[in-house]
Structure 1
Amino acid sequence: MGNKEARVKRGKALSDADVTELSNLSGFTPQQVREWHSGFLKDCPSGKLNKKKFIEVYKQFYPTGKAEKFCEYVFRTFDTDGSSNIDFGEFLIAISITAQQDPRKKLEWAFSMYDIDRNGYIEKKEMKKIMDAIYDLLGEEKKGSNSPEMKVDQIFSKMDINSDQKLSKDEFVSGCLQDDYLRKLLAPSAS
Structure 2
Amino acid sequence: MGSNNSQNLRDEEIKELMDETEFSKQQITRLYSRFLSLDKKGQGYLSRDDFLNVPELGVNPLGDRIIDAFFTVAETNGDKKDQQLNFRQFVRILAHFQPTSRVKKNSLNSRRDKLFFAFKMYDLNKNNYITREEFKVILNSMVGANITTDQLEKIADRTIEEADKDRDGKISFEEFCGAMEKTDIEEKMSIRFLN
Secondary structure at the residue paired with 2:46? Answer: strand
Q: CA deviation at 1:59?
A: 4.9
Which one of 130, 155, 161 corresponds to residue 157 of structure 1? Answer: 161
Q: CA deviation at 1:58?
A: 4.0
2:36 maps to 1:41: yes
The equivalent residue for 2:121 is: 113
Change (3 A) 1:111 1:133: same
Q: How many residues align?
A: 170
Query: What is the rounded CA distance, in whole Å, between the counterparts of 1:87 and 1:40 in structure 2?
Result: 9
The equivalent residue for 2:70 is: 78
2:138 maps to 1:130: yes
Q: Deviations over 1:39-78 (max 9, x none)?
A: 321343423333234223245673xx7x3xx322221221
Letter in 2 for 1:121: Y
TM-score normalised to structure 1 length = 0.71
Indicate if the aligned counterparts of 1:49 and 1:86 stay in contact, CA closer than 8 A: yes
Query: What is the rounded CA distance, in whole Å, between the counterparts of 1:15 and 1:152 in structure 2?
Result: 49
Higher strand fraction: Structure 1 or Structure 2? 1
What runs of 5+ residues in structure 2 fail to find an aligned partner?
A: 75-79, 101-109, 191-195
Query: What is the rounded CA distance, in whole Å, between the counterparts of 2:177 and 2:135 in structure 1?
Result: 14
Which one of 33, 55, 58 corresponds to residue 52 of structure 2? Answer: 55
Change (3 A) 1:135 1:142: same
Alignment RMSD (CA, Å): 3.1
Indicate if the aligned counterparts of 1:78 and 1:90 stay in contact, CA closer than 8 A: no
Secondary structure at the residue paired with 1:49? Answer: coil
Change (3 A) 1:16 1:10: farther
Letter in 1 for 2:143: Y
Indicate if the aligned counterparts of 1:76 and 1:82 stay in contact, CA closer than 8 A: no
Letter in 2 for 1:36: L
Change (3 A) 1:116 1:25: farther
The equivalent residue for 1:166 is: 170
Secondary structure at the residue paired with 1:161? Answer: coil
Query: What is the rounded CA distance, in whole Å, between the counterparts of 1:25 and 1:121 in structure 2?
Result: 29
Q: CA deviation at 1:18?
A: 2.4
Indicate if the aligned counterparts of 2:35 and 2:87 stay in contact, CA closer than 8 A: yes
Secondary structure at the residue paired with 2:85? Answer: strand
Q: What percent of counterpart residues are identical? A: 24
